[in-house]
Structure 1
């Protein structure tokens, strides 16, 4: 690991170096926007060479994706906190989607998820197995007794896929004129909630 630059404080490990690169990239994005942030900007922010950054990340898009991923983790914590006290499965899913649609486009680091093209969490990447599995784990954190509602692990995976597909469409192709929250909530309650309000199918004998 190189010990030059880094503001006179070289990282103690590769993990620390990667995190400092991610943090520097986030600062550059805050100043310049994602489309104008280059790997040279990140290297200059850290006081290191481009080659030093390349030792840890192959492309600027890989660093930007990590900035977005870390922002998403913090976002999920806020989402789960927002849903506390909402134990009904249908209500939790509808309210969670409304929260996502309201929050993601307005926050710079979350909106990165919309700007990374086909690899992003809300591009073609929304339907990868890893992203859907992440969505299912996120649903498990909701304040809902899914088992009591008859929603098993396989069902949560399917629900996560449908949610990701719907969010992708609604975020990337918003209505014109835009729907307000009341309209979105009514739309989701009418067409999505019934699938979660159904009684569990009887077990085969």
Structure 2
């Protein structure tokens, strides 16, 4: 492994080098939002642009890897917060409300899930965002199969929740709903739809 630079602290392995580059990419995007470059990432790590490209063949490859890292951390925290909420409608309501409350502090996640958030991530936004939404649904403490939801329905549910999330991020309302008011709104117009879908999927329904 070549270890030029690294601010005087060379990584012990390629894995450590990659982890440091990904951490720097996340930090640069958190600090600067959409206005960033590979040079910014390299400067933060203390290496040349060529060193970054040695580990990531393109800007898109770096962004995808950093996106997965950021999304996993966000969803880990979401999973812990949502533990014990087993009702599908309540789980979806709280997951959406929590995501909307946390997103202002998660610039990178916001860039990834909102179309056009950055010229750099536009090509990967759709795939990463849909995976984020589906993973969020699957991590909820809900027995989706018992509730009548299978893979196709969970894909559609993830997409629908993503669309709701994107809509609130783009236009949070005037004034924005928060706290109990936000949850009441989501419970009525999103949670109720999930509950109806679950009821219609029960044996003998229809």
| Structure 1 residue 132, shift from structure 2 partner | 2.9
Aligned equivalent of 1:116: 118
From the superposition, tell whether residues 136 and 60 of structure 1 become closer, same or farther in structure 2 (CA, over 3 Å): closer
TM-score, normalised by the number of residues in structure 2: 0.79
Contact 2:33 2:108 in 1 (8 A): no
Aligned equivalent of 1:168: 166
Residues 40-93 of structure 1: CA distance to partner in whole angstroms, max 9, x if unpaired?
333233332222222233555654554443222111111111111211000000
Aligned equivalent of 2:188: 190
Q: Which runs of 5+ in 1 are unaligned?
A: none
TM-score, normalised by the number of residues in structure 1: 0.79
In 1, Cα distance between the equivalents of 2:56 and 2:47? 14
Aligned equivalent of 2:72: 73
Aligned equivalent of 1:25: 25
In 2, Cα distance between the equivalents of 1:76 and 1:143? 13
Q: Which runs of 5+ in 2 are unaligned?
A: none
Aligned equivalent of 1:56: 55
In 2, Cα distance between the equivalents of 1:177 and 1:165? 20
Return structure 1 stretches of 4+ with deviation > 6 angstroms.
none
| Count of residues in correspondence between the two structures | 199
| Structure 1 residue 147, shift from structure 2 partner | 1.5
SS of 1:44's equivalent in the other structure is: helix
Aligned equivalent of 2:2: 2
Contact 1:65 1:116 in 2 (8 A): no
Contact 2:63 2:121 in 1 (8 A): no
In 2, Cα distance between the equivalents of 1:41 and 1:101? 28
| Structure 1 residue 202, shift from structure 2 partner | 4.4
From the superposition, tell whether residues 146 and 102 of structure 1 become closer, same or farther in structure 2 (CA, over 3 Å): same
Aligned equivalent of 1:89: 88
**What is the root-mean-square deviation in Å for CA atoms of aligned residues?**
3.0
